[in-house]
Structure 1
Amino acid sequence: MPSLPPTARPPSWSRPPILLLLVVLFALAAGIGMREPSPPDEPRFALAAQTMVDSGDWLVPRRGREAYAEKPPVFMWMQAASWTLVRDWRVAFLLPSLLAALATLALVHGAAGRLWSRRHAPWAAGALFVCLQFGLQAKRAQIDMVLVALTTLSLCALLRYLLEGRERRWLALGMFAAGLGTVTKGVGFLPVLVLLPWLWVRWRRRSPVKPADHVAGDALAAGAGFVAGAAVWLAPLGLALLRNPDPALQAYAHELLFRQTGTRYLNAWHHVQPPWYYAQTIATLWLPGVLLLPWLLPAWWRRLRRGDPRYILLLGWAALVLLFFSLSPGKREVYVLPALPAACLAAAPLLPALLRRSGVRWVLCGWLLLAGALLLGASASGLADAAWAARLGESRGMAAPDMRVLLWALGGLGAAAWGLAVALRGRRIALALLLFTSLVWATYGLVLAPALDASSSGRALMHEVVTRIGADGELGAIAWREQHLLQVERPMAEFGFRQPLHLQWRDALAWVGQAPERRWLWLPEDALGPCVDRAHAQHLGRASRQEWWLVPGTAIDPLCDALPFAPAGN
């Protein structure tokens, strides 16, 4: 394939406006260190990372006494490594996502500068930043933001290889990032799919076939890069499997490499959704960018018909990502996030002209006004109806002062949305969107997340538990959640996370029976069963969508039979 003409290849990095850098950095970093990990995924990763640091075993992540085999340990390594640098878990558990988000924006900015022009680079990065899903993941300590950084790095390197002179170092870098992404989360190989639209372009242009030795050299560079990336985790795991015949390690490797990858994709057992699920994801979580699709789609189609390889590779790859995830029965909205940077890169050269259209400006202004109205409405409803706000706060375990802070913050955001829509309407609407998005994520980090922290992280509940059992009490847990083990302020006996309930009860009865006067069990209501004298149990309230109880050892029958909890056939 012929490379891009020199005029289409600006420097790899163009300096974005310093204001853009400062605003984005402030918005994404705001609030880091002000909250604890919260469900659904953050506590299990932070718990595994803490266990790595405490035990010194970084090979197999653990959730309590059990190996955690649902995800590779690379993200947890990043969190544990962050702790070794900052020595503060409140900062360390969020630091990988923050750095990955900033890296993704930098990669998109640099790639847009090379694909289009220096002036289009801030448009690409700004378009990515204002989309809701990007900010949501940047502020969460989940694997997906790191995955997106790796897939974006891989895609940008492969695009540079395919479109600009075919230098093997970019091929090797792209494949290395894909390999590392694969052992970070199984779908990290997705950037390699960009070779399919590239092959179609070559076929359409009847490009000459390269000599066999050159093809062999490319294949070697690609294979070596991917293997090197995957070896970051697979190499130490393989060595451990060769040296250690422990059946538990063998079972961990089998569960992670087979059931949690291939089986999870082909025959998902949870998060089952219809094939069109991602249409609604894009229609909501890619706001406000998705509002421009009525103008972008015809413009993209015209450029695809002209055979521009940049659009074919970017949009073709994004479509393949959507198709790949749509074919699996198991779907989560975050799965399609890797396609968003590619879509923003494809939109970047069109955005300056689109923002000169009055229809586009009115649509985006309408989005700001609607968002402001919803925020103001929610705030006014809660502040005007104290009983409704109290019930809502109680359902989330929030104290009344925290609830009022949250409602006032929502009102402030709504007022800001309206003010920006009025003050920066017209040609400056893009600046209004960027400033509003920055305010949203800064407010989330500085106000909303801290207000929800005590209840959502389990910190308040575990503090109450420890207070009730006293200084001499020993605590054991049945059917616990990761955030609870993470937030408990003293050692807590646990009897397995995935272990069947009747086996947890068997071990718990033996543990309590050794010192019933000072040992307590903490468990949800649906795990109480026939072994507990409820008259002497203490109801703690509702958290994590369950009612929780604290039971003194003297209220537990040591001769109780836990078989009612056993699955049928046991």
Structure 2
Amino acid sequence: MPRLARTAISRETWLFWIVAVLVLGAGLGLRDPWPADEPRFALVARQMVDSGDWLFPHRGGELYSDKPPLFMWLQAAAYTVIGNWRVAFLLPSLLAALGTLWCVIDLGRRLWTRRVGLYAGWAVLLALQFTWQAKKAQIDPLVVFWITLANYGLLRHVLTTRSDPGPNWSMWALGWAAAGFGTISKGVGAIALLMLVPAGIAAVRGWPVRLYATHPRFWLGPLAFVAACGVWLVPMLVAALGNGSPDYRTYMDDILLRQTAKRYAASWHHAQPAWYFLEVMATMWLPTALALPWAVPAWRRRLRRVDPRYLLPLAWWLLVLVFFTIPSGKRDMYILPALPMAALALAPLLPGLLRRVWPRRLALGFAAALGGVALVAGLTMWFGDPGFERHLVAQRGLENEALALAGLLVAIGAWGVASVLWFGRRRPIAALVSTLAGLWVLFGLIGAPLLNDSSSARGLMVAVGRRIGADAELGLVAWREQHLLMADRAVAEFGFKRPFDEQMRRGLAWQAQRPASRWLLVQDAAMVDCIDRRHAQALGNANRRSWWLLPGAATAACADAMLTPTAPPSAASDDDGDADDGG
């Protein structure tokens, strides 16, 4: 490669990584965990650090069996190194997202060229769903990384390239091990191994794909998978089977059966129609998805040329789509692991596509629409009282932040419109990148801190601590994880899975023991008729729920409700780690 071309590629590479770090990292350390999933994972990780028990995840006194612990291990390890929970709870997602981008870029470089690798990276980074999930402390960014790393290793082994001219057994083992780590992050991590299905079929049909199935080293892969899973499974099974408590047997049965096979075969949440993921890809993968109408016929032509570099990622994408379409329960992030391979297959086509008139017009139009909608929405909030603003205020308790939120939308919209005007029709892709980068950076640096108190329950719990005083005791009824996480003191709670009326009876019995110094924080849905609301303190809405603070005087008439013996206070549990309850 000529020196000038190498210099240009180097500049483009540095530009990509600078933008990626800014987009994905903006806001790190500026907010607390937001529901639904973030507080429960952060709470589990904090208890690992506090208790020293990292093998069995707990929330308070109960075992947490909805998800394997690897993600929480990483959060706890990040805190152990950094000492700041606001950074530590988001750091695994950030590093996983950057790792996913590296895998895609390097694989594109090895299969095609350095520039194709960068196009693949941009196609992933600009997709709305990828960046949105990468800026959240959920398990999905980590699972996407493990699955992409597994595909990276498997493809480097089965495809013959100049950098990998023959079998690459270290990559083969890496691919299987990454699938194993994906499995102990979230059970679906093993779907990376579906890549072997089209690879095997292609090899049998004479495509230039090699599995080397008769070679003795072939079994390094399955052994690496078992070893990776065994990092958690073996000590967990030994400890659970050796413990006499039925709680540990229940934990083992729940996490190995109910949360995996049973959940897949008979989903109990998030029912969606069969075409749901087609809608998700058409919308949440924008603007990358805008290239698909031109990419599909181009892919067909390349498959006719018997090019496995397209066949394997595309066939795997299709298999993943079918896999997640079969069960009735579907969530938008389930299809996210397919995005990197879709972007990899799309990347070699992008240089040609982006020279065409209509793809360029769509890119510029998307940027203009994004900036225009944000600007109009912000101005409408600033000068008027639109229905969507009233809804936000009512549901999220944003009375004090509404004007600032309007200003943020105006800033995002103005940046987008300015980007479109500055770059114009001559550089529509630059306008698109600038608009999206501005959106994510402004949201991270301004929007996240602005919404933090109402979204994380920090504002609610600070108000509770201030009202009851430093020496008072606090009990939680019908609570969510963020309340236990954000509390400024040790709190009593009366079960998470228990019905609200049972929690309330236990809470009333606990408060009656010291009515002068004990308070109850109660969700409106759990309030009972015997409570004297003249003495109760309404805290308003937070996380789409109404909350009350009850002193002993408000519950003095509730003696008849204290029929259930007081149980020792324990910490929270949850009915479903994937339930997006919003608060």
TM-score, length basis structure 1: 0.92
Q: Helix, strand or coil: the match of 2:538? A: strand
The 3 A distance-change label for structure 1 pair 163 and 500 is same
Q: Helix, strand or coil: the match of 1:215? A: coil
2:65 aligned with 1:66, yes or no?
A: no
Aligned residue in 2 for 1:296:
295
| Alpha-carbon separation, structure 2, partners of 1:173 and 1:300 | 28
Aligned residue in 1 for 2:29:
33
2:117 aligned with 1:116, yes or no?
A: no
- Once the two structures are superposed, the pairs formed by residues 72-87 of structure 1 within 5 Å of their partners are 72-87=68-83
| Alpha-carbon separation, structure 2, partners of 1:287 and 1:86 | 35
| Alpha-carbon separation, structure 1, partners of 2:563 and 2:289 | 54
Q: Helix, strand or coil: the match of 1:113? A: helix
Aligned residue in 2 for 1:7:
none
Mean Cα displacement is larger for which, 414-423 or 349-358?
Answer: 414-423
1:521 deviation in Å? 1.2
> What code does the residue aligned with 2:57 have?
P
2:195 aligned with 1:199, yes or no?
A: no
1:446 deviation in Å? 0.3
| Alpha-carbon separation, structure 2, partners of 1:318 and 1:353 | 23
8 Å CA contact 1:64–1:496 kept in 2: the answer is no
Mean Cα displacement is larger for which, 408-417 or 527-536?
Answer: 527-536
Q: Helix, strand or coil: the match of 1:523? A: strand
Mean Cα displacement is larger for which, 374-383 or 214-223?
Answer: 214-223
| Alpha-carbon separation, structure 2, partners of 1:413 and 1:471 | 41
| Alpha-carbon separation, structure 1, partners of 2:156 and 2:396 | 51
Aligned residue in 1 for 2:220:
221
| Alpha-carbon separation, structure 1, partners of 2:227 and 2:443 | 39
Aligned residue in 1 for 2:375:
376
The 3 A distance-change label for structure 1 pair 161 and 14 is farther
| Alpha-carbon separation, structure 2, partners of 1:156 and 1:531 | 62
8 Å CA contact 2:506–2:562 kept in 1: the answer is no
- Once the two structures are superposed, the pairs formed by residues 47-58 of structure 1 within 5 Å of their partners are 47-58=43-54
The 3 A distance-change label for structure 1 pair 498 and 297 is same
Aligned residue in 1 for 2:262:
263
The runs of 4+ residues in structure 1 deviating greater than 4 Å are 13-16, 206-211, 386-390, 396-401
The 3 A distance-change label for structure 1 pair 175 and 387 is closer
Aligned residue in 1 for 2:100:
104
| Alpha-carbon separation, structure 2, partners of 1:397 and 1:127 | 33
8 Å CA contact 1:541–1:547 kept in 2: the answer is yes
The 3 A distance-change label for structure 1 pair 192 and 252 is same
The 3 A distance-change label for structure 1 pair 331 and 14 is farther
8 Å CA contact 2:501–2:526 kept in 1: the answer is no
1:252 deviation in Å? 0.8
2:504 aligned with 1:478, yes or no?
A: no
Q: Helix, strand or coil: the match of 1:535? A: coil
| Alpha-carbon separation, structure 2, partners of 1:338 and 1:562 | 50
Aligned residue in 1 for 2:567:
none
Percent identity (aligned): 46
| Alpha-carbon separation, structure 2, partners of 1:527 and 1:216 | 64
The 3 A distance-change label for structure 1 pair 136 and 431 is same
| Alpha-carbon separation, structure 2, partners of 1:27 and 1:491 | 37
The 3 A distance-change label for structure 1 pair 506 and 408 is closer
> What code does the residue aligned with 1:42 have?
E
The 3 A distance-change label for structure 1 pair 207 and 309 is closer
1:476 deviation in Å? 0.4
Superposed CA deviations along residues 310-340 of structure 1, whole A, max 9, x for unmatched, are 1110000011111100011110000000000
1:531 deviation in Å? 4.4
8 Å CA contact 1:265–1:328 kept in 2: the answer is yes
Q: Helix, strand or coil: the match of 1:477? A: strand
> What code does the residue aligned with 2:193 have?
V
1:14 deviation in Å? 8.0
Aligned residue in 2 for 1:450:
449
| Alpha-carbon separation, structure 2, partners of 1:469 and 1:424 | 56
> What code does the residue aligned with 1:182 have?
T
Superposed CA deviations along residues 108-137 of structure 1, whole A, max 9, x for unmatched, are 110000111122111110111111011101
Superposed CA deviations along residues 419-460 of structure 1, whole A, max 9, x for unmatched, are 222332345322222222221111111011111101010011
Superposed CA deviations along residues 141-191 of structure 1, whole A, max 9, x for unmatched, are 000001111100000100011113222211111000000100100100011
| Alpha-carbon separation, structure 2, partners of 1:400 and 1:525 | 20
> What code does the residue aligned with 2:272 have?
Q
2:279 aligned with 1:280, yes or no?
A: yes
8 Å CA contact 2:364–2:429 kept in 1: the answer is no
| Alpha-carbon separation, structure 2, partners of 1:50 and 1:206 | 51
| Alpha-carbon separation, structure 1, partners of 2:398 and 2:506 | 36
**RMSD over equivalenced CA pairs, Å:** 2.2
Mean Cα displacement is larger for which, 231-240 or 184-193?
Answer: 231-240
The 3 A distance-change label for structure 1 pair 109 and 206 is closer
The 3 A distance-change label for structure 1 pair 16 and 105 is farther
Aligned residue in 1 for 2:188:
187
TM-score, length basis structure 2: 0.90
Q: Helix, strand or coil: the match of 2:515? A: coil
The alignment covers a number of residue pairs equal to 550
The 3 A distance-change label for structure 1 pair 465 and 205 is same
| Alpha-carbon separation, structure 1, partners of 2:303 and 2:210 | 24
Aligned residue in 1 for 2:522:
523
Aligned residue in 2 for 1:149:
145
> What code does the residue aligned with 1:243 have?
G
Unaligned runs of 5+ in 1: 1-9, 564-570
> What code does the residue aligned with 1:555 have?
A
1:534 deviation in Å? 2.8
The 3 A distance-change label for structure 1 pair 536 and 162 is same
| Alpha-carbon separation, structure 2, partners of 1:31 and 1:208 | 44
8 Å CA contact 1:374–1:414 kept in 2: the answer is yes
Q: Helix, strand or coil: the match of 2:547? A: strand
Aligned residue in 2 for 1:170:
171
8 Å CA contact 2:100–2:144 kept in 1: the answer is yes
8 Å CA contact 2:478–2:523 kept in 1: the answer is yes
Unaligned runs of 5+ in 2: 1-5, 161-165, 565-583
Aligned residue in 2 for 1:409:
408
> What code does the residue aligned with 2:61 have?
R
